[in-house]
Amino acid sequence: MFNLSSLFNTFFKKTPESVLGVDIGSSAIKVVQLRKKNGKAILETYGELSLGPYAGTEIGRATNLPQEKIVEALKDLIKEANVSTTVCGMSIPASASLISFIKMPTSDPRQLETAVPLEARKYIPVPITEVSLNWSVIPENVHEFTNEFEAHEEARKTDGPQSSEVLLAVIHNDVLSKYNQILRDANLQTNALEIEIFSSMRAIIEQSLDAELVFDMGAGSTKLYIIDRNVLHAAHTVNRGSQEITLALSRSLSMSVGDAEHIKRTVGISNEPEKRQVREVISLNLDYVFTETNRVILNYQKKTGKNVSRVILTGGGSLLKGFLELARAKFQIEVVLGDPFAKTETPAFLEPVLKAAGPGFAVAIGLALKQLQD
Ligand SMILES: Nc1ncnc2c1ncn2[C@@H]1O[C@H](COP(=O)(O)OP(=O)(O)OP(=O)(O)O)[C@@H](O)[C@H]1O
Ligand SMILES: [Mg+2]
């Protein structure tokens, strides 16, 4: 429904065989290569590379690398994962973009065409000439009606809605240049740069009439967004990620950050009596993010009168052992782990591995799927 591709770069003359999704996260780069065969997305290769070592810090930590280091890491990963295509989709981090929802006093498409960019200026902290702005109208009556037809009928009866809600997506031009330059330096080409939220939506959301919350816990932050009837309705970033757990473990257990990361990944949330301290540090640390998530869910319910029916967990942070069970206890609604590889054809023997690693690859898979669709 919404993409930024029209704003960028070249379009390809012929459909390439294999495509790559590239997710440059704060702690790791993830790539997924897919090919279309008989209408199906076949998984050709995938891989992940921690950025910590390129920044002189530990694995699992959020980094802020200069461009040339990112290029170096990306090239290493492309080689390591035997990537064989140069055609890719790449994500822009949520933290380097701005997503807002604004109310407009009209729903007339021509009026919106001029009014939205003017209104958007109020939300954008820099001159509008410095950004790329994309927007789309959120379908009206999405909450009250059970199907598209009913909504349409109601709109017709009332002579159309008098106001509309508009989704704004803004990326600074410097950010776009940076990512385009990374692609060029890594010998990749794209017609699709996309804010990561839209990529993972494509990879994990099924057609549904329900409202669902996607919980993406990365290293440095946790992205929370609500999708209602397949449309993005709210997006929040909590400035806490899985690296906070590592740092808290390192402090509480007086061990190095590297060792704490190891304990986090191998022990996780365990019910064994001798693992009690680890469990307590982790769950205390996660409380803040869970509370924020519940607040986002409640706010949405208050605003729309519609319940959020499911939480879908993604991001490397949700790979923590026992995370799903803890999340189920904290949220009063259904919680599942995202399974983005389910949208691809994979060798049977790999299925358990891919199901386990899947939540970390949602963004990369969504980007590759977009390339196949386009
Ligand atoms: N098996 C695991 N158990 C527990 N934690 C894990 C596991 N694997 C990865 N992590 C943690 O997940 C985090 C990385 O997640 P992810 O790869 O989604 O982050 P990112 O995309 O690089 O970061 P961001 O989205 O914040 O930019 C790290 O902090 C890492 O310690
Ligand atoms: Mg991420």
Alpha-helix residue ranges (DSSP H) falling in 228-275: 242-252, 257-266
Provide the pairing of β-strand 87-92 with 18-24: parallel
What span, in angstroms and rounded, lies between the C-alpha atoms of 369 and 354? 16
Q: Which of 22, 24, 27, 77 to mutate to test the pocket of ligand 1 (most atoms within 8 A of CB)?
A: 27
What pLDDT shows up at residue 192? 79
pTM of the predicted model as reported, rounded to 2 decimal places? 0.91
Q: Considering its fold, how many domains does the chain have in total?
A: 1
What pLDDT shows up at residue 153? 52
CATH number of the domain encompassing residue 55: 3.30.420.40
Cβ of 52 closer than 6 Å to ligand 1, yes or no, is no
Domain range for residue 332? 5-373
Cβ of 242 closer than 6 Å to ligand 1, yes or no, is yes
Atom of ligand 1 nearest to the CA of 314: 18
Atom of ligand 1 nearest to the CA of 363: 21
337: amino acid identity, one letter:
L
Phi-psi region of 265 (alpha: psi -120 to 50; beta: other; left: phi over 0): alpha
Distance 90 CA to ligand 2 centre (A): 12
pLDDT tens, position by position, 201-224: 999 999 999 999 999 999 999 999
Strands (E), the chain: 18-24, 28-37, 40-50, 87-92, 97-104, 131-138, 164-172, 189-195, 211-217, 222-228, 231-238, 308-314, 334-337
What span, in angstroms and rounded, lies between the C-alpha atoms of 219 and 217? 7
Q: Which ligand is nearest to the CA of 221?
A: 1
Element at 112 (helix H, strand E): helix 109-120
Cβ of 262 closer than 6 Å to ligand 1, yes or no, is no
Give pLDDT tens digits along the chain (374 positions).
334 333 333 344 445 589 999 999 999 999 999 999 988 999 999 999 999 999 999 999 999 999 999 999 999 999 999 999 999 999 999 999 999 999 999 999 999 999 999 999 999 999 999 999 999 999 875 544 444 445 455 554 554 568 999 999 999 999 999 999 999 999 999 977 999 999 999 999 999 999 999 999 999 999 999 999 999 999 999 999 999 999 999 999 999 999 999 999 999 999 999 999 999 999 999 999 999 999 999 999 999 999 999 999 999 999 999 999 999 999 989 999 999 999 999 999 999 999 999 999 999 999 999 999 87
